[in-house]
Amino acid sequence: MNIDFQGQTVIVTGAAHGFGRAIALAFAWNGASVWACDLNDSGLAETARLAAHDGLTIQTRTVDVGDGAAVQALVAEVAAATGRVDVLVNNAGGVLGQVGRPLEEISAADWHAIFRVNVDGAFLFAQAVAPHMKRQRSGRIINISSGAGLGISLTGIQAYASAKAAQIGLTRQLAHELGEWGITVNNVAPGFVRSNPTTELQWESYGEEGQRKLVQGIALRRLGTPDDIASAVMFFASAQAGWISGQVLSVDGGK
């Protein structure tokens, strides 16, 4: 399969580490003009440095994905600079440092904070790129959810499981709304991957026995990597996936 993004413009959110960084680098390696955003300035700088080490360029911008004006400004800048927006990867998300607690202890602020980055961000970016993709009559939107959105959160964080399920619902709805313009909207649902400081803490919290049980519950008997997730995104963004939309692909080693 020849996957090539020469001449295409790609926006990747949450690109300061983990999945987002791997996705941004993969698009750059495959010829795309990549614009990566996050709130983590130092992480973004490292993403750009890794690209430069391989002779590639990734444009980075500090953006709060829950800020509609900032999202619109970034997309307008990208479109003005390159003349098009071909691929949007909504990767920004996570648990924002929260841990599992009983339902009655969850504040409204904590609940809404997780929805803001995981759902609002995906909605706002899709809303911003849609006019450009409609004008081109082509585009790819790929949302990164989680196995938690299809089942339960391993950490017991109610808002995270709910937000990722909502993001999957948004994926399916937008696929039907935008399809007539040649825009596909799909979703990658990763299994557990040690990809950032939060997942490292989660992994350590399981202890040796819990880690063994988690790996034994995976058909391939290994944890995934950020590159495994990036590979799924490359497929959904490619010409080979031109008649696939509204789908959720679990990339979890087999459950």
Catalytic residues: 160
- Report residue 69 as tokens: 């004006």
- Report residue 171 as tokens: 């994926």
Maximum separation of any 2 CA atoms in the chain, in Å? 54
* DSSP three-state, residue 92: coil
Interacting residues of 251 by C-beta distance below 8 A, sequence separation 6+: 188, 189, 190, 191, 224, 228, 229, 232
* H or E segment to which residue 37 belongs: strand 33-38
Torsion of CA 212, 196, 161, 206, to 10 degrees: 30
